[in-house]
A and B are shown apart, each in its own frame.
Chain A
Amino acid sequence: EAGVTQFPSHSVIEKGQTVTLRCDPISGHDNLYWYRRVMGKEIKFLLHFVKESKQDESGMPNNRFLAERTGGTYSTLKVQPAELEDSGVYFCASSQGDRVAYNEQFFGPGTRLTVL
């Protein structure tokens, strides 16, 4: 069974440009999460989808970030316009249920975003 996949693995863009990251969760997982790790800091929660609905988007940094999950399958995270501080590794994770203590979140390898 395929794990969580993310595309692209790396992206280098200039400040002001737009970038779209994609995450394909494990088939059948209703819960999809986005996290971000800025260099040298903690991995931080961005948002949580249950199917196509945003359950919790309290971690989204600002309105330059837009996440979608049309149809409840794959998800995209768009950054527009990108700023220097958006550089980091963006992780996606999926799980069957939403209680983290009982439902393991399976993580993708991440997308490394560099904004110049």
Chain B
Amino acid sequence: AQSVTQLGSHVSVSEGALVLLRCNYSSSVPPYLFWYVQYPNQGLQLLLKYTSAATLVKGINGFEAEFKKSETSFHLTKPSAHMSDAAEYFCAVSILNRDDKIIFGKGTRLHILP
């Protein structure tokens, strides 16, 4: 069965610094991968998704993620953190034409230091 592992339940970066949130997946077949963000008191919002096209995926708010099959990773990055990026981020996986459900990781809370 597919699964995702997010390394670090809390990550702190300084404003202006690189954001790197790690996600590794487990799947026996090519997966579809997602990053969602949850801002305080709001629902989850899709940041970006990988669906077997380009391996480098660009999302909203300056975020991007790279699918690396050899490393079974889909890490999320942003070159320069902004205070408004403080939120919880969820990596997720789905297998098309299987059960087609979204399997979420445990989430990583990103803290931005002034």
Contact = CB atoms under 8 A, between A and B. Distances in A.
Q: What does DSSP make chain A's interface, helix, strand, loop or mixed?
A: loop
Contacts, number: 55
Counting contact residues on chain B (CB < 8 A from A), the size range is 20 to 34
Contacts of B41: 109
A97 B42 CA distance: 23
B78 interface: no
B67 interface: no
Interface string B23-65: 0000000001000100001111110010100000000000000
Contacts of A1: none
Given A101-B51, A101-B94, A109 B42 contact: yes
Given A42-B106, A44-B104, A100 B94 contact: yes
Interface string A82-98: 00000000010100001
A58 to B, nearest CB: 8
Contacts of B46: 104-105
Nearest to B100: A100
A110 B43 contact: yes
Interface of A: 3-4, 35, 40-45, 48, 56, 58-59, 91, 93, 98-102, 104-110
